[in-house]
Each structure stands twice: as C-alpha cells, then as structure tokens.
Structure 1
Amino acid sequence: MAIAKQYLKTKPVCKVTFTVPAEEAKKVAVVGDFNNWKATKASALKKLKNGTFKGTLELPKEGSFEFKYIIDGNYVNEESADRYQYNEYAGSENAVLDL
C-alpha cells in the first residue's frame, strides 16, 4: 500500500493518490471523514492490469483526515499512513493523513 501527495500551487488542495495491491479483491474504496465514511463512485479505486487498485482524491490542504480502505467489505488500515488515531466509535485505530 502507498500514498502519494501532490500539492497544487493554483488551488488550496492536495491530490492524494492511493495505491492498494489486492490482486484477489473485486472492489476497493477509500473512505474517511473527508467523505462521511461512505464508499461512493468517487472513492472507488480502479483495478489495474497488474492487480493493484489505484485512485486519486483532491483533499483540502492543511487538514488531517482519518481513513481506511474497504477491500471486499473489510476495513483495512494503510500501512504507510502518516500516523494512527484511536476512534471510539469504531473501537479501533484509523489511519491518518496529514496534509
């Protein structure tokens, strides 16, 4: 798993590219407090020929966002997150993205 950040000079956003190796998976989405934890078309990652899922979201600069991946219905944390934060509602740690 990997995250790539690209800060834009012309807009107050950061393009964040999420890459998830999940050859056996049928669906992968990224959900978090930036999209009310809802898996939508915009948060779905596209499966590439090599079995990796990839997608890019534009998120506001200078923010922190809790998130997880949904891989075939299972919530999974990003291994290379900026940090992790315990979430009482979920009863587990969420990955955190600091922009």
Structure 2
Amino acid sequence: MSLKKQYLKSKPICKVTFRCAKNEAQGAHSAEVLGEFNNWTPTPMKRLKSGDFTLTVALEKGKQYQFRYLLDGEQWENDWEADAYLPSPLSYEDNSVVAV
C-alpha cells in the first residue's frame, strides 16, 4: 500500500493517490477507501490490469485525514506507508493518517 502526493501550485489542494498492490490486496476482487475526507463513505478504487487498486482524491492542504481500506466489503486494512496512525473511536484497531 502506498500514498503519492501531488501538490497543486495554483490551489490549496493536494491530489493524493491511494494504491493497494495486488499482493497486499490478498486476492480481493474489490477495494474501497473510507475516511474523514469522504465522511467514511465507501469509495471504490479502480482495479488496474496488474491487479493493483488505485484511487486519486483532491484534499485540502494543511490537514490530516484518517482513513482505511476495505477489501471485498469485509476485510479492513491500514496503509503501512501512512504518515501516522491514530486509534479508531469505533474499534481496537488504528486508522491510517495522511497529512497534506
């Protein structure tokens, strides 16, 4: 799993690309990103020919956003290359954090 950040010069926005590699997806047929930036609403990731999943979102700079991946609608995963981790208020697990 990885995060790629592209800061825009003309706007206070950062385009963040979330990527879940095929081997990290553990054979999943679908992957979604849920986080503070989308009100924890499942947002489908695009499956690439390689089997990786990807999604790019525009986030406001100067903020931190908690998020997690949901594989096949049932298995939660963190991004192990996230900027930080914070305890989830809903479970005993941590949420990944992206800072932009």
What's the TM-score, normalizing by structure 1? 0.90
Q: Distance in 1 between the 2:13 and 2:91 partners?
A: 28
Gap regions ≥5 residues in structure 1: none
Q: Distance in 2 between the 1:25 and 1:31 partners?
A: 16
Q: Confirm whether residue 83 of structure 1 aligns to residue 84 of structure 2.
A: yes
Q: What residue identity is the alignment partner of 2:31?
A: V
Q: Percent identity?
A: 41
Q: Distance in 1 between the 2:89 and 2:41 partners?
A: 18
Q: How does 1:1-99 map to 2 (within 5 A)?
A: 1-21=1-21, 22=25, 24-39=27-42, 43-73=43-73, 74-99=75-100
The CA deviation string for residues 38-89 of structure 1, in whole angstroms up to 9 with x for no partner, is 11xxx21111111101110001100000000011121110010001001222
Secondary structure of 1:34's counterpart equals helix
Secondary structure of 2:37's counterpart equals coil
Aligned length: 96
Structure 1 segments (4+ residues) deviating >3 Å: none
The root-mean-square deviation of aligned C-alpha atoms, in Å, is 1.2
Gap regions ≥5 residues in structure 2: none
